[in-house]
């Protein structure tokens, strides 16, 4: 029993305002500067960065399909615009990383096993929960991965791209977690326990897959396996706390529409 249920779900209109404002407050990327990648950075970072660049460039068609169904169920048409702006932000990440690869004379990836696996899970069923669950887990890893790349490179351009992605992902995780809290709200206790058991198993698999695919870049950025593993679970526990329905006050009959006084994510 949680006695301090004080969080509030932000309305879709609040999220639309946030994404629009964030699009206007992007960090300046010093594109005029040389790429400045050492041979070692090219060997260690670039192969895995190509995979992440591909992952960031999803066209969003499946999310939009899921959002239409979800928004209709919830009676919250504004959510579709929030989802569209979220997709635009991910595509901006992919666009900046792609432009960086172009500047470095590296071809962009066309396929990547991690990306293929991730898309398969999301596309299997176009439902918001099936979509948001793996996304929040990968975004949790993005917080570690882009920090590792930021630390591992001397390239001012790449560092700035990573800083922007890191800032944006904090808000993305909150966006997904609020959706999941809404979706889990009212679920029978045994089913919620089963859901969280599935989350832990699935997160274990994703975490191991991220390590296998990106361990060289992670290690170069200061994350050996033990630190990476501990950090991943610590960040995911934070996300699980954010998606816990018991942490929220459920006073409004239509939480998706309830404008709330709580501030939007700081710095993102
Ligand atoms: Fe992203
Ligand atoms: Fe994201």
| CA 139 / ligand 2 centre spacing (Å) | 5
pLDDT of 259 > 80? The answer is no
| CA 191 / ligand 2 centre spacing (Å) | 27
pLDDT of 120 > 80? The answer is no
Confidence of residue 255 (pLDDT cuts 50, 70, 90): very low
pLDDT of 244 > 50? The answer is yes
| CA 195 / ligand 1 centre spacing (Å) | 25
| CA 194 / ligand 2 centre spacing (Å) | 26
Handedness of CA 90, 116, 118, 42 (dihedral sign): negative
Confidence of residue 63 (pLDDT cuts 50, 70, 90): confident
Angle at which helix 46-56 crosses helix 128-152, to 10 degrees, equals 150
Ligand nearest to the CA of 55: 1
pTM above 0.85, yes or no: yes
Confidence of residue 233 (pLDDT cuts 50, 70, 90): very high
Lowest mean pLDDT among 184-198, 230-244, 253-267: 253-267
Give bridge partners of residue 66 from the DSSP assignment. Answer: none
| CA 163 / ligand 1 centre spacing (Å) | 11
Confidence of residue 124 (pLDDT cuts 50, 70, 90): low
Q: Which pLDDT value is given to residue 66? A: 86
| CA 160 / ligand 2 centre spacing (Å) | 16
Q: Which pLDDT value is given to residue 123? A: 66
Lowest mean pLDDT among 57-71, 111-125, 146-160: 111-125
Ligand nearest to the CA of 145: 1
Which pLDDT tens digit goes with each residue over 168-203?
999 999 999 999 999 999 899 999 999 999 999 999
Q: Which pLDDT value is given to residue 262? A: 44
Interacting residues of 53 by C-beta distance below 8 A, sequence separation 6+: 94, 97, 98, 101, 108, 109
pLDDT of 19 > 80? The answer is yes
Ligand nearest to the CA of 136: 2
Collect residues with CB below 5 Å from ion ligand 2: 139, 169, 172
| CA 245 / ligand 2 centre spacing (Å) | 22
Ligand nearest to the CA of 56: 1
Structure tokens at 62: 């499946």
Q: Which pLDDT value is given to residue 6? A: 83
Lowest mean pLDDT among 54-63, 81-90, 97-106: 54-63
Complete domains list, the chain, with CATH: 37-247 (1.20.1260.10)
Ligand nearest to the CA of 19: 2
| CA 87 / ligand 1 centre spacing (Å) | 9
pLDDT of 140 > 60? The answer is yes
């Amino acid at each position: 029993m949680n006695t301090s249920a004080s969080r509030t779900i932000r309305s879709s209109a609040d999220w639309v305002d946030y994404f629009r404002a964030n699009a206007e407050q992007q960090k300046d990327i010093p594109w005029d500067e040389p790429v400045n990648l050492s041979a070692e950075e090219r060997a260690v970072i670039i192969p895995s960065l190509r995979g992440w660049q591909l992952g960031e460039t999803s066209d969003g068609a499946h999310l939009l399909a899921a959002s239409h169904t979800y928004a209709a169920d919830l009676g919250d048409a504004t959510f579709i615009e929030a989802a569209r702006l979220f997709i635009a932000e991910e595509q901006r990440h992919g666009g900046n990383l792609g432009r960086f690869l172009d500047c470095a004379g590296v071809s962009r990836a066309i396929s990547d096993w991690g990306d293929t696996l991730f898309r398969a899970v999301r596309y299997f069923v176009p439902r918001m929960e099936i979509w948001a669950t793996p996304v929040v887990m990968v975004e949790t890893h993005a917080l570690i991965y882009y920090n590792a790349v930021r630390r591992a490179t001397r390239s001012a351009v790449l560092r700035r791209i990573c800083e922007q992605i890191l800032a944006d992902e904090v808000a993305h995780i909150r966006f997904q977690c609020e959706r999941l809290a809404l979706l889990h709200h009212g679920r029978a206790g045994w089913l919620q326990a089963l859901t969280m058991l599935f989350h832990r198993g699935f997160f274990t698999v994703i975490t191991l897959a991220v390590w296998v695919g990106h361990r060289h870049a992670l290690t170069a950025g200061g994350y050996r396996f033990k630190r990476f593993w501990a950090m991943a679970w610590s960040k995911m526990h934070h996300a699980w706390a954010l998606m816990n329905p018991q942490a929220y006050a459920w006073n409004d009959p239509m939480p998706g529409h309830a404008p709330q006084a709580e501030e939007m994510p700081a710095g993102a």
